[in-house]
Structure 1
Amino acid sequence: MRVPKLVLSALSPGGQRGRLSILIFHRVLPTPDPLFPDEVDAARFDELLTWLRHWMNVLPLDEAVRRLKAGSLPPRAAAITFDDGYADNRTIAMPLLQKHKLSAAFFISTGFLDGGRMWNDTIIESVRGTKLDSLACKTAGISPLALGTTEQKRSALTTLINGIKHLPSTQRAEAVAEVAESSAAMLPNDLMMSSAQVRELRDGGMVVGAHTVSHPILARLEFVRAQEEVATSKHVLEALLGEKLGLFAYPNGKLDADYCGEHVGLVKSLGFEAAVSTNWGAAGAGCDLFQLPRFTPWDKDAGRFGLRLASNLRRRYPGA
């Protein structure tokens, strides 16, 4: 493991020349999921944290942002983040983070707390649980998709999610409802965190940030609606935790496709201190604190994982 650490030190030496690698996750499953074999499970996350703790100086994101701004990052600075607010973030991810004496930031879409379910999970669980051999979605213009095998279900999920994701919000809701009703599957209502679990994250040394109410594509909303989504999520979480919230994550998070310059200005105007995107790269001196880049190495081999961390440190995007 020495070579990646030496390379990472050269690329991210700290101080004014420091670079901040922000990793993004969504879920940590208890065991591998046949439908999503690349999704992180508990054993895999434990291994990733071992590598990160050895190679990187992992900071809480709020501290990392302050030190980035001040030019006082340590060498090989990194932060860990989670988006959306899945219950397994509390039940599986947090204990593993605590085991390794690490912190992470969790960005919560408040509309799904206490029994809600994200639209993509409705699609996933409909495909997982249906007894039908095929599913279609007329609302999204998607013809019947075969579901006879696990491979076919994976392919169908890719087609359905990609075909529905960027529809206008009303049409997207109609498409999701159509798939759920057609599938006749029993859908879970415990995928997302409860309000109590969000408080437990904060009390357990984690950082909580806002992620809108309903996880819309901000670039597809009228500005007033976008403002309501961002502001309401901030206010709900501040009331829940009894403290000011400083961090925000753009849903989906790609510049121009998912959010635009006006949304960066909106987040600033609402009193956030920083915001994260999903534009790949590492943040350095002069980086726009309201478009911080994030990425996740997907390699299962330690050496390749480390080299991809190094490769990302060389990557820049507008604002970084």
Structure 2
Amino acid sequence: MVKTLLQWMSPAGAGARLSTLIFHRVLPAPDPLFPDEMDARRFAEVCGWLKSWFNVLPLDQAVIRLKAGTLPVRAACITFDDGYADNFEVAMPILQRHGLTATFFIATGFLNGGRMWNDTIIETVRNGTSPLLDFSSLNLGRHPVTTLADKRAAIAALIDQVKYQPLAQRISVTEQIARLAQVQLPQDLMMTSLQVKAMHQAGMQIGAHTVSHPILARLSEDQARQEISDSQIFLERLLGERVGLFAYPNGKPGEDYSLQAVEVVRSLGFDAAFSTQWGASRQGDDPLQIRRFTPWDRTRLRFGMRMLRNLREG
């Protein structure tokens, strides 16, 4: 039933709709702190569902065919953002077992031992030994962390307070949070340059995702251009070929990136760029604002229904 409905809502040709899925991490095993985070067993299930229901395409080919009106029936793509090491270690082998390809958008400044600011907060709260984290000296409040629910609430509150601060301030504040909590933070959350290169050599596609994952809407045009261009140049030198795909950090249109950022991406010659606006894209949509979403349902039927609802958004 699901496949028939998908075929009706996502036909081939000029009326086609492209479903683009976005993931971030695939953990080796479930995380008690974040039980809804994707893990290896669940991702293998998702890959099986996608393989049986969709024609999963390489992203660059899908973009070309979307513009030309030649997409196949039930067209879909798989993408990952940020560049976590588990993308290489866990997700890629699962994709390969299912004969699927994906595109990995890399925030280049965090490769080789770096860490994203939100992960500094997450790992600080996860690994803290005190029952109370006191960040009142940073105007970030005091947070009980005796239970997993407490820790989740603390993480959400801290991320919400820090997320839209200027980039330099955001980095400084999160580093101070870690120092105040006196925790040892992991240095291996993100891929190495060699892993990115090996992933590309294995047939996966690589796209740019800025250097430091800023909120582009909060940057000047020159700052946005440098973030986007520097990540593109780094990856092109690493891979020895042109990089024509880009994903906006966080990706909400108007909130996380503006039309100014879209024009910067256009001027840098990217073939396509991707938001986190829900829905499926169709011929005639702006190729520099292609929609993506994350289906989170745990059963085959609910997952399929979610994909059908997402097609209605396009």
TM-score range, shorter chain: over 0.9
**Aligned match for 1:95, one of 76, 93, 102:** 93
- Do residues 74 (structure 1) and 72 (structure 2) align? yes
Which 5+ residue runs of structure 1 have no aligned equivalent?
Answer: none
Aligned partner letter, 2:235: L
Across the aligned residues of Structure 1 and Structure 2, the Cα RMSD in angstroms comes to 0.9
- TM-score, scaled to structure 2: 0.98
CA distance in 1 between counterparts of 2:54 and 2:135 reads 45
Q: Which letter does structure 1 place at the counterpart of 2:121? A: I
Structure 1 counterpart of 2:146: 148
Deviations 1:180-209 (A, max 9, x none): 111111101010000000011111110000
Query: In structure 1, what is the equivalent of residue 276 of structure 2?
Result: 278
Pick the aligned partner of 1:182 from 180, 183, 186: 180
Q: Distance in 2 between matches of 1:169 and 1:48?
A: 35
Give, in angstroms, the shift of residue 174 of structure 1.
2.4
Q: Secondary structure at the match of 2:141?
A: strand
Q: Is the 8 A contact 2:136 2:142 kept in 1?
A: no
Q: Quick one: which of 2, 16, 22 aligns to 2:14?
A: 16
Gaps of at least 5 residues in structure 2 are none
Q: Is the 8 A contact 1:113 1:194 kept in 2?
A: yes
> TM-score scaled to structure 1, two decimals?
0.96
Aligned to 1:4: 2
1:77-127 deviations in whole A, cap 9, x for unaligned?
000000000011001110000000000000000001111111011111111
- The alpha carbon displacement at 1:140 in A equals 5.9
Structure 1 residues 144-187: Cα deviation after superposition (integer angstroms, max 9, x where no partner): 01100111001111111111111111221222022111111110
Deviation, structure 1 residue 4: 0.9
Aligned to 2:219: 221
Partner secondary structure for residue 214 of structure 1: coil
Distance 2:24 2:83 in 1: 8
Asked if the contact 1:137–1:175 (Cα under 8 Å) also holds between the matched residues in 2, the reply is no
- Give 3-state SS (helix, strand or coil) of 1:37's partner: coil
Answering whether residue 80 of structure 2 is matched by residue 120 of structure 1, we say no
Q: May I ask how many residue pairs the two structures share in their alignment? A: 314
Residues in 2 aligned to 1:48 and 1:139: alpha-carbon distance in whole angstroms:
44
One-letter identity of the residue aligned with 2:143: L
State the alpha-carbon separation in 2 of the partners of residues 150 and 206 from structure 1.
36
Shift in Å, 1:76:
0.5
- 1:61 lines up with 2:59 in the alignment: yes
CA distance in 2, matches of 1:207, 1:11: 27
1:142 partner SS: coil
Residue type of the alignment partner of 2:185: L
Structure 1 residue aligned with 2:38: 40
How far the C-alpha of 1:137 sits from its partner, in A, is 3.3
